[in-house]
Amino acid sequence: MIEPLLLNLRSHDVVTREEEDRLRSILQREQRFSVGEDLVSQGTRPGYSTLLIDGFAARYKYMEDGSRQITALNLSGDFVDLHAFPLKTMDHGIVAMSPCHVAFVDHADLVRITEVAPHLTRLLWLDTLIDGAIHREWIVAMGRRTKKAHLAHLVCELFLRLQVVRRTDGNSFHFPLSQAEMADVLGLSIVHFNKTLQALRKEGLVTWENRTVNILDWQRLKDAAEFDPTYLNLSVEPR
Amino acid sequence: MIEPLLLNLRSHDVVTREEEDRLRSILQREQRFSVGEDLVSQGTRPGYSTLLIDGFAARYKYMEDGSRQITALNLSGDFVDLHAFPLKTMDHGIVAMSPCHVAFVDHADLVRITEVAPHLTRLLWLDTLIDGAIHREWIVAMGRRTKKAHLAHLVCELFLRLQVVRRTDGNSFHFPLSQAEMADVLGLSIVHFNKTLQALRKEGLVTWENRTVNILDWQRLKDAAEFDPTYLNLSVEPR
DNA sequence: CGTGAATTTGACCGCCATCAAAAACAGTGG
DNA sequence: CCACTGTTTTTGATGGCGGTCAAATTCACG
């Protein structure tokens, strides 16, 4: 049940059997959310953190004019709000973009981990640091990439992250977001997201239909995106 | 010497005398950098982290076409690359935007802290989580705010962050970035940054000259920015 | 087959990039 | 103190990317 989390952590460092057991032992009740439900709502102070076992979720923030910006995408195996643990008050919400299967962890148990399991603490810390690295990459994409490159970059990133948790199938992966939702990821209008996607399709870099993305030419996609996977830290090293 | 760091940490939680001493004891040699020098370069694997004692620094990434995006601004009291500690390889660089006074901390000493000082560990973790929260706010600003609101938001954020480390003077603060550098923060052209700034000036929200920003009307600036300081976590709570 | 959602196309227009150059400013040496 | 030079800020003109509005088409599903 925590397999995707373990796959995630093990893409960065060795996780011992003892650490694995410790993680299992702190998982509280499971719960399922359907599309559109908030896993965590803005402004709340949850006393627990949420592990996404399976599904797709998005961090989002609404503006006063009703527009929305998605600031992160969470995949199977992601701790969606380890953040809330020392951060206390949620400054944004997290919503299910597909049916989501989650498990909860009490903050008290996380505090306990920092007290007795320093290496595991560093691994969880690392997980939040990679979130930060992804955020920076998104900032770069929004500020200095063309929209086409931004989208291409996102596809590259999603592919590698999904591959870690074995959610890819050859060169393709299931991806449940609508184009309207993707527009909120890229900070675009729906119309222009559509035109950007069509540009990628026309160049023969990807297909994207039935909520399935298929990468036709990894090398050219990578080039179009100026994609460098360093920030994902996909190498096993002592941390 | 680590006073600004302590001010930073103490804006979130109580820091005991023992923790304070521990922090002092792990600070290695100090160093000064002049404007334009890299505190940390992209692609390197430093064995230490850098505490910014005084000055302004920026995380940046260059694109192949030579354009640059600044993904974060670091102020006095910020740990500029606690990230590199479990992250290992720097996926971006950090450059001095003003003369910078820094001190170094060995990664081995940071590992030691995770082993013997859980609360201090959580405080340092928190620090990196707030970096992440700021990143998310920047993503929102780039994706869904007008450029004027984005700039206003940044001014609000800088003011509060500088106030914590006592680098404000009434409603104004010293800020050494040129307009060209600010353009790299907002993902704008120099010309348009200038026009955006003039819009804020014309509305009587700020003055900005001689590298000094003065906030003329906090409330209206806040409104123009849709600024909500929650993400900065400026409240003292047990973490 | 009908209804609502999602995708796609087209027209129009404004924000912002680019190019160019003027004006203001800062630091230099004479 | 002033001329000289490079940097920074500011202004103006032009064009393209991407937003908004509107509608057609395709798709999902009861």
The two tokens of residue A139 are: 């900032």
The answer to whether B233 faces chain A, any CB pair under 8 Å, is yes
Nearest to B128 among A72, A88, A128 (CB): A128
The two tokens of residue A101 are: 């299967």
With beta carbons under 8 A apart, name residues in chain A contacting B144.
Answer: 63, 67-69, 187
Question: A54 and A128, same structural domain?
Answer: yes
DSSP secondary structure string, A129-186?
Answer: HHHHHHHHHHHHHHHHS-HHHHHHHHHHHHHHHHHHTT-EETTEEE----HHHHHHHH
Question: A198 and A84, same structural domain?
Answer: no
The dihedral region occupied by B43, where left means phi > 0, alpha psi between -120 and 50, and beta the remainder, is left
Confidence of residue A113 (pLDDT cuts 50, 70, 90): very high
The answer to whether A129 faces chain B, any CB pair under 8 Å, is yes
CB contact under 8 A, A140 and B86: no
Average pLDDT in chain A: 95
The domain boundary residue, chosen from B134, B149, B182:
B134
Q: Which residues of A122-134 are buried (b: 16+ CB within 10 A; e: fewer)?
A: bbbbbbbbbbbbb
Does pLDDT of A34 surpass 90?
Answer: yes
- The candidate with the shortest Cα–Cα distance to A134, out of A84, A75, A175, A86, is A75
Query: Does residue B86 form part of some domain?
Result: yes
Residue B141: CB partners within 8 Å, gap ≥ 6? B149, B150, B153, B154
Residue with nearest Cα to nucleotide D7 C1': B178
Query: Does residue A139 form part of some domain?
Result: no
What percentage of chain B reaches a pLDDT higher than 70?
100
- CA nearest B143 in A: which residue? A187
Question: B161 and B130, same structural domain?
Answer: no
Question: B188 and B118, same structural domain?
Answer: no
With beta carbons under 8 A apart, name residues in chain A contacting B114.
Answer: 114, 118-119, 121-122, 125
Question: B203 and B175, same structural domain?
Answer: yes
State how far Cα A77 lies from the chain centre: 9
Confidence of residue B82 (pLDDT cuts 50, 70, 90): confident
Confidence of residue B1 (pLDDT cuts 50, 70, 90): confident
Does pLDDT of A56 surpass 90?
Answer: yes
pLDDT at A9: 97
Query: Which DSSP letter does residue B16 get?
Result: -
Domain count, chain B: 2
Confidence of residue B28 (pLDDT cuts 50, 70, 90): confident
pLDDT at B4: 97
Domain boundaries, position B119: 3-134
With beta carbons under 8 A apart, name residues in chain B contacting A69.
Answer: 139-140, 143-144
Question: B206 and B115, same structural domain?
Answer: no
pLDDT in tens, B102-124: 999 999 999 999 999 999 999 99
Query: Does residue B174 form part of some domain?
Result: yes
Question: A122 and A49, same structural domain?
Answer: yes
Contact B89, B45 (CB under 8 A): yes
Query: Which DSSP letter does residue B38 get?
Result: E
Confidence of residue B172 (pLDDT cuts 50, 70, 90): very high
Question: A89 and A156, same structural domain?
Answer: no
Does pLDDT of B239 surpass 90?
Answer: no
The domain boundary residue, chosen from A134, A160, A183:
A134
Closest nucleotide to B192 by C1' from CA: C16
Judged by DSSP in three states, B95 sits in strand
Distance to chain B for A143, nearest Cα, Å: 4
Question: Which protein residues have Cβ within 7 A of any strand D atom?
Answer: A 146-147, 187-189, 191-192, 196, 210; B 178-180, 190-191, 194-195, 197-198, 209
pLDDT at A64: 95
pLDDT at B34: 94
CB contact under 8 A, A72 and B136: yes
Which CATH number fits the domain that encloses residue B124?
Answer: 2.60.120.10
Contact B154, B62 (CB under 8 A): no
Higher pLDDT, B52 or A238: B52
Question: A186 and A107, same structural domain?
Answer: no
Does pLDDT of B88 surpass 80?
Answer: no
Alpha-carbon torsion angle B106, B80, A154, B182, nearest 10: -160
Query: Does residue B238 form part of some domain?
Result: no
Q: Report the length, in residues, of chain B.
A: 239
pLDDT in tens, B136-162: 999 999 999 999 999 999 999 999 999
State how far Cα A175 lies from the chain centre: 12
pLDDT at A184: 98
A171 φ/ψ angles, rounded to the nearest 5 degrees? -95, 10
- The candidate with the shortest Cα–Cα distance to A92, out of B156, B70, B135, is B135
pLDDT at A239: 85
**Which of residues 61 through 120 in chain B touch A, CB cutoff 8 A?**
61, 63-64, 67-69, 71-72, 83, 86-89, 91-92, 111, 114-115, 118-119
pLDDT in tens, A174-189: 999 999 999 999 999 9
